[in-house]
Amino acid sequence: PVLGLAAQKQLSYSTRGSPPLGRGPGPRVAGRAAAAPAPGGPSAPATPSTEPDPPNLPVLPARETGREPVNTAGPRDPQRVGEIRAVSIPGARTGLSTDGYVYLPPQYFQPGNEQRKFPAVIAMTGFPGDAKALITRFNYPGVALDEIRAGRMRPTVLVLMRPSPAMPADSECEDIPGGTQADTYFTKDVPRAIAATYRVATAPGSWGIMGNSTGGYCAAKLAMRHPEVFAGGVSVSGYLKAAEDVTTGDLFKGSRQRRDEADLLWRLRNLPPPATGIMLSGAEKGDGDFRAEAAAFTAAAKPPLAVAVATVPEGGHNYTTWIKLLPAGFQFLSQRLTG
């Protein structure tokens, strides 16, 4: 059935598979693999972001505009807790630009790592969202630091952003014909700008993406569309089909094919599976249609796509639920990232 926008933005997921993920502090989070990756096999068709950069494309690094404290106990020495840099991230291919934050883990500053390049994860808010909420409400850097210290997550650079580079419009991370090229911005421009500024790895398998609500939908969709960029995507209470309302406008310009390709279940059922990993996470009760949507997604998944599901027993479409699910998402991505 076609879900209304409110229902789409409050999804929950059922599980199947093997051992639990997410043994971090706080409520137990159960995660189960639904489809193991397999070497070789068909993969999804190429998309615009797989095109090579033009030879004369300028290198536009991120521009630092300030710093924010890491929310953790104890001294704020970068070698112990890392640093958060406020940045403006330009898009050489798209001409877009957004503000966000970059968290550099403590290992980035420790002696002996001066030449080391780190894996990176883009983390997105919901829409309209505020990237700073990923620091002040979610505490992404503090949760990542706890996971790194506990050995459950490899040292990773976090790029904290909102999901639309064309505010106040909601682009749903689409390349809109004749309009905002949000897909290309997040898959080509952002990694290029961050790699030109910080020591992050750029080889295949070194980037992941995650987010909540609209950001969760974007994370799953971009990872499925661009496995050559993202080794994994984590959707925290995300939805599976592009929202269309007054904030989005006409995303697809009448193209049924584009609309279908923005539907993640349609992609699973009609396109070759991509060689990436997707985690769906949410509350078993109180988070809309989460269980049914996840059951359909895991049932349709085939190798080489790997799918995992993480849940808390109950909770709404809110920060309290999402924060509990961050450790499992970090662990899932860390197991997939290289670099």
List pLDDT tens digits, range 281-293.
998 887 888 888 9
Domains of the chain: 5-39+59-336 (3.40.50.1820)
| Closest to 198 (Cα-Cα) out of 94, 101, 310 | 101
Query: Edge-to-edge strand order for the sheet containing 157-161?
Result: 30-35, 306-314, 277-285, 230-236, 207-212, 120-124, 157-161, 97-104, 83-90, 63-68
Task: Quote the pLDDT of residue 331.
Answer: 96
Residue 301, token pair as written in the block: 């998944």
pLDDT average, residue stretch 186-214: 96
Tens digits of per-residue pLDDT, 95-152? 999 999 999 999 999 999 999 999 999 999 988 889 999 999 999 999 999 999 999 9
Task: Quote the pLDDT of residue 64.
Answer: 98
The tally of CA atoms less than 13 A away on the side-chain side of residue 150 is: 16
| Closest to 32 (Cα-Cα) out of 45, 43, 18 | 18
Q: Which residue has the higher pLDDT, 180 or 45?
A: 180
Task: Quote the pLDDT of residue 157.
Answer: 98
Tens digits of per-residue pLDDT, 49-104? 456 778 889 999 999 999 999 998 878 899 999 999 999 999 999 999 999 999 99
**CA–CA separation, 100 vs 185, rounded Å?**
14
Task: Quote the pLDDT of residue 193.
Answer: 98
pLDDT classification of 32: cutoffs 50, 70, 90: low
**CA–CA separation, 96 vs 98, rounded Å?**
7
Are 99 and 88 in contact by the 8 Å Cβ rule? The answer is yes
Task: Quote the pLDDT of residue 315.
Answer: 74
Residue 214, helix vs strand vs coil: helix
Task: Quote the pLDDT of residue 60.
Answer: 96
pLDDT at 8 over 70: no
Cα angle for residues 242, 244, 250 (degrees, 5° grid) = 110
pLDDT at 25 over 50: no
Residues 35-59: b if buried by 16+ CB within 10 A, e if exposed: bebeeeeebbeebebeeeeeeeeee
Percent of the chain exceeding pLDDT 70 equals 85
**CA–CA separation, 72 vs 144, rounded Å?**
11
pLDDT at 48 over 80: no
Task: Quote the pLDDT of residue 33.
Answer: 58
Tell me which of 29-43, 103-117, 190-204, 289-303 is least confident.
Answer: 29-43
pLDDT classification of 31: cutoffs 50, 70, 90: low
Tens digits of per-residue pLDDT, 224-258? 999 999 999 999 989 999 877 677 777 778 888 88
Residue 13, helix vs strand vs coil: strand
**CA–CA separation, 76 vs 314, rounded Å?**
35
Task: Quote the pLDDT of residue 255.
Answer: 82
| Closest to 159 (Cα-Cα) out of 180, 183, 186 | 186
| CA distance between the termini of the chain | 42
pLDDT average, residue stretch 268-289: 92
Mean of pLDDT over the chain: 85
